[in-house]
């Protein structure tokens, strides 16, 4: 009996550990460090990011959003100037400066198009400038940019740099745009938990109310249910309005996965509030999650493109539940009797 209890205990412990391991944020990138006695990064400027630094401890600086508050937004297919200054080794001057971008959001920098050579075999402080082209198929959401300087050789995107330094930053790749003709109908309020947003007709039929634009988000917890309320100003003449909420629960840059689209109202003629329950999937990724509310006349709302109607984007913050698998808890209680 004692052995059985022990087996159960080990199983529970292992299960919880496995769950915790698989549920960590996608942003668990391979570590990098270096000996930066002689050369280091002194400034990185990219979009809204402009960060001047000294020698970082262990040759690594974590300037990702949650550590530094620094972030910039880019669009697929867009081109953005990146400018970096370094302190080179003044005696043996042969520095290589690379930028890495995890465009496909798989937590490495080794895929095609993820390496940008900023400078090679240089002796200069800079600024060293290049234009960074965001691939057309870059995955929307938060991704990482890693800047690496190395003496006398091509810098790797991870591991121990023999002589050099690395710094990490957060880039937000924008979701595909939705625009609309909202002369006849538009969204007037979206409410979920702490978000209570009353609006008018947005320019071009799109409103950016994401955390990155407004600083506003609201916490929701895995496997819990929340009330979402949307009010609209319907077309009073041809009244046939459809409202859908899209949520990228698994952070893969689309709204096409299981339970990622929820009908709020269909073929309605009323302003509302139209209220529905949103259940957060138990395996929803923790962290900032994009919610897109789309109002469309006469047709099922589409995720992107041009519609007769309006789209608004929001950011929800998904928290992990405290006890991932509560079904195991009764087994402990029984076993200890």
Interacting residues toward Ca ion by CB under 5 A: 40-41, 53, 56, 102, 104, 106, 108, 111, 186-187, 199, 202, 248, 250, 252, 254, 257
Closest CB 200 distance from Ca ion, rounded Å: 6
Bridging pattern class, strands 49-52 and 40-46: antiparallel
Which residue, 38 or 328, is less far from Ca ion as judged by CB? 38
Beta bridge partners of 64: none
Report d(CA 62, CA 169) in Å as an integer: 7
CB of 173 to Ca ion, least distance (A): 12
**55 or 218: CB nearest Ca ion:** 55
Kindly state the smallest distance separating residue 292's Cβ from Ca ion, in Å. 11
Decide: 98 and 56 in contact? Cβ < 8 Å. no
Nearer to Ca ion, 5 or 257 (CB): 257
Q: Which is nearer to Ca ion, 63 or 212 (CB)?
A: 63
CB of 248 vs Ca ion, minimal distance in Å: 4
3-state secondary structure 299-334: CCCCCCEEEEEEEEEEEEEEECCCCCCHHHHHHHHH
Of 200, 214, 180, nearest to 303 (Cα)? 180
Cβ-based nearer residue to Ca ion, 104 or 308: 104
Q: Enter the DSSP assignment of 105.
A: -
User: Is there a contact between 40 and 59 (Cβ–Cβ < 8 Å)?
Assistant: yes
- The tally of CA atoms less than 13 A away on the side-chain side of residue 336 is 6
What is the CA angle 250-255-260, rounded to 5?
70
Nearest distance from C-beta of residue 56 to Ca ion, angstroms:
5
For the bound state, the minimum distance from the C-beta of residue 323 to Ca ion, rounded and expressed in Å, comes to 26
In angstroms, rounded to a whole number, what is the distance separating the alpha carbons of residues 125 and 83? Answer: 11
273, 189 contact by CB (below 8 A): yes
Q: 77, exposed or middle or buried, with CB in 10 Å at 0-12, 13-18, 19+? A: exposed
**12 vs 33, beta carbon nearer Ca ion:** 33
Q: How far is the CB of 254 from Ca ion (least distance, A)?
A: 5
Report in angstroms how near the CB of residue 114 gets to Ca ion at its nearest: 5
Compare residues 40 and 314 and give the one whose CB is closer to Ca ion: 40
C-alpha torsion sign, points 177, 29, 115, 39: positive
- Please, which residue, 109 or 212, has the CB nearer to Ca ion? 109
**Look-up: residue for tokens 């990482």?**
144
């Amino acid at each position: 009996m004692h052995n059985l209890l022990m087996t159960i205990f080990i199983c529970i412990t292992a299960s919880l550990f496995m769950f915790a391991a698989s549920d960590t944020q996608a942003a668990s990138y391979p570590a990098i460090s270096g000996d930066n006695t002689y050369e280091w990064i002194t400034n990185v400027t990219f979009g809204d990011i402009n960060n001047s630094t000294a020698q970082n401890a262990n040759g690594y600086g974590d300037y990702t959003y949650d550590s530094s508050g620094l972030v910039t937004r880019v669009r697929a297919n867009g081109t953005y100037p990146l400018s970096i200054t370094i302190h080179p080794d003044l005696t043996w001057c042969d520095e290589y400066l690379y930028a890495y971008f995890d465009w496909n959001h798989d937590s490495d920098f080794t895929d095609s198009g993820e390496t940008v050579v900023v400078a090679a075999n240089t002796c200069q402080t800079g600024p060293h400038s290049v234009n960074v082209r965001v691939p057309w198929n870059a995955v929307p959401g938060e991704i990482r940019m890693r800047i690496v300087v190395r003496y006398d050789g091509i810098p790797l995107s991870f591991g121990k740099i023999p002589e050099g330094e690395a710094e990490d930053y957060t880039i937000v790749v924008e979701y595909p745009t939705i625009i609309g003709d909202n002369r006849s109908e538009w969204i007037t309020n979206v409410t979920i938990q702490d978000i209570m947003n009353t609006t008018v007709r947005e320019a071009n039929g799109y409103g950016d109310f994401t955390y990155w634009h407004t600083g506003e988000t609201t916490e929701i917890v895995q496997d819990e249910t929340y009330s979402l309320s949307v009010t609209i100003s319907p077309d009073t003449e041809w009244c046939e309005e459809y409202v859908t909420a899209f949520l990228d629960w698994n952070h893969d840059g689309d709204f096409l996965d299981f339970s990622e689209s929820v009908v709020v109202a269909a073929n309605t003629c009323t302003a509302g509030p139209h209220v529905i329950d949103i259940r957060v999937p138990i395996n929803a990724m923790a962290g900032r999650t994009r919610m897109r509310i789309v109002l469309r006349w006469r047709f099922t709302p589409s995720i992107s493109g041009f519609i007769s109607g309006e789209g608004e984007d929001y950011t929800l913050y998904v928290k992990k539940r405290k006890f991932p698998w509560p079904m195991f808890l009764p087994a402990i209680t029984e076993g200890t009797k």
